[in-house]
Structure 1
Amino acid sequence: MKFPEFTAKTVTGEDISSDVFKDSKLTVVNVWGSWCGPCVREIPELQKLYENMKDKNVNVIGLAQDAGSDMDAVKEVIEKNNVTYQNIVPEGVTEGFVMSLMAFPTTFFVDSEGNIVGSIQGARDLDGFTKIVEDLLANQA
C-alpha cells in the first residue's frame, strides 16, 4: 500500500510533500494528537530515534492530528520536548488519511518509494522503535 501523495505545510510553516520519502531509506511517520497521553509520552522517544537513526538514512516525521484545530497545543508539545523532526499539519489528503485511523498513536514505516512497509498502533519506547526500524532496514537490503 502506498502512503497517500500529499502537499502540506509543517507546523513551522514550511512546504512539505510526499517527495520527502525519496530522501531517506525509511521514514517513520507518527500520527499523534496533543490530547493523546500515549502519543505525547512517546514523542521524546521518537526524537531520540530521529537523532540515533539519521546516520542510517532514516527520517522521522510527525503528523499532528489536531494541528488544524489546536495549533497552540501542538506547538507546546513540540517545544516542550525539543522536537527537531518535521511535523505536518494535516490538510486535504493527509487529513482524510488521519481521520480514517481508529487508534492513536499510529506509526507508519514508509520506504523511499512511498510504500508503507509496516505500521503499528499504540505507543513504543526507543528500543521498540529501534528494533522495528532495524528489522525493516534489514529486509530492504
Structure 2
Amino acid sequence: MKKYILIPLAAAMILSITACTGNSKENSTETKEIIASSEETAEGTGENGSSSDDSDTAAGLTGEFKSFTAEDLDGNTVTQDILTGYDLTIMNVWGTFCSPCIREMPYLGELSTEYADKGVQIIGVVIDARNRDGSFSPSILAEADDIIGKTGADYLHLLPSDDLMDIHLNTVTSIPYTIFIDKNGSIIDTVIGSMEKDQWIEAIDAVLEEVK
C-alpha cells in the first residue's frame, strides 16, 4: 500500500521552527510536540508531492483509536463510537496559525459531503487549542470556529484530549497531518502536509479500496 509522504520530516522541522515561533500563541500550544509546517514547505511539496510504496510515514503508524474520549468545539462528548458507522475516518490535525492547513480545508469540506454516502467521514482536530497545562484556549477556539465557518469545513472538529494525544497525536511533528482510520480504530495510513483536492481524492480512494 502506498504511504503518502508529502513533506520530508527533516526539512519540515527545520523550516517549521521559524513558522511556529513566528506564529506562537503565548503558550497556547504544546510546542515541544507540535511543530507547524511552513507555508513555503507545503507549497513546494504540494505541487511535486511523491509517494513511496514501502516506507512508513516519518511519524510512524503508532497507536490505535479503539478507545478514547474527547470533546467537540461545542463541548459535546465524543468517543470511539463515532468510528464504527464508517468504513474510513479521515482525522485531519490542523492549527489556526497554519496557512497550509487552512488552504486545504475548503477541499476537505467539499469532500466530506461528496464522500458521505461512500462510508467516509472527515474529522478535524484543532491542535493549537491545547495549552501546555492541558486546558484549552477560549480565544483560539473562537478563532477556529471562525476559520471553520469561512472555509466551509463544517464537519466535526475535536479538541486534542489527553486520550487523543496519548494514542497518536503526541508523535505529530508537523501540520497539517492526516490520519486514515478504519471502523475498528486501526490506523491505516497517514499524510504529512497539505494537498490539492485531486490529490486528496486519489489518496482517499486508495485507502478506501483497501479497507472495504
TM-score (norm 1): 0.92
User: What is the identity, as a one-letter code, of the residue corresponding to 1:42?
Assistant: E
State the aligned residue count: 141
Q: Which has the larger radius of gyration?
A: 2
Q: Give the whole-Å Cα distance in 1 for the aligned partners of 2:100 and 2:66.
A: 25
Aligned residue number for residue 78 of structure 1: 148
Q: Which residue of 1 aligns with 2:117?
A: 55
Residues 105, 152 of structure 2: 8 Å contact kept = no
Counting only pairs closer than 5 Å after superposition, residues 1-141 of structure 1 correspond to structure 2 as 1-3=63-65, 5-67=67-129, 68-69=136-137, 70-96=140-166, 97-141=168-212
Deviation at 1:4, TM superposition (A): 6.1
- For the 8 Å contact 1:28–1:108, the answer to whether it is kept is yes
Q: For residue 79 of structure 1, what is the amino acid of its counterpart?
A: G
**1:62: Cα distance to partner?**
0.2
Unaligned regions of 5+ residues in structure 2, if any?
A: 1-62, 130-135
1:24: how far off?
Answer: 0.3
Tell me the alpha carbon deviations over residues 36-85 of structure 1, each in whole angstroms, 9 at most, x when there is no partner.
11011111011011011001010000011023222121111111123221
Amino acid in structure 2 at the alignment position of 1:58: V
What are the Cα deviations for residues 79-99 of structure 1, in whole angstroms up to 9, with x where unaligned? 112322100011212244434
Q: Unmatched 5+ residue regions in structure 1?
A: none
Is the CA contact 2:93–2:176 (under 8 Å) kept in the aligned structure 1? Answer: yes
More strand per residue: 1
Length-normalised TM-score, structure 2: 0.63
Question: Which stretch of structure 1 is more off in the superposition, 12-21 or 40-49?
Answer: 12-21
* Higher mean C-alpha deviation, range 99-108 or range 56-65: 99-108
* Structure 1 moving runs of 4+ over 4 Å: none
Q: Report if aligned partners of 2:66, 2:186 keep a CA contact under 8 Å in 1.
A: no
8 Å CA contact 1:4, 1:94 repeated in 2: no
**Which stretch shifts more, 112-121 or 9-18?**
9-18
- Measured in 1, the distance between the counterparts of 2:208 and 2:115 equals 11
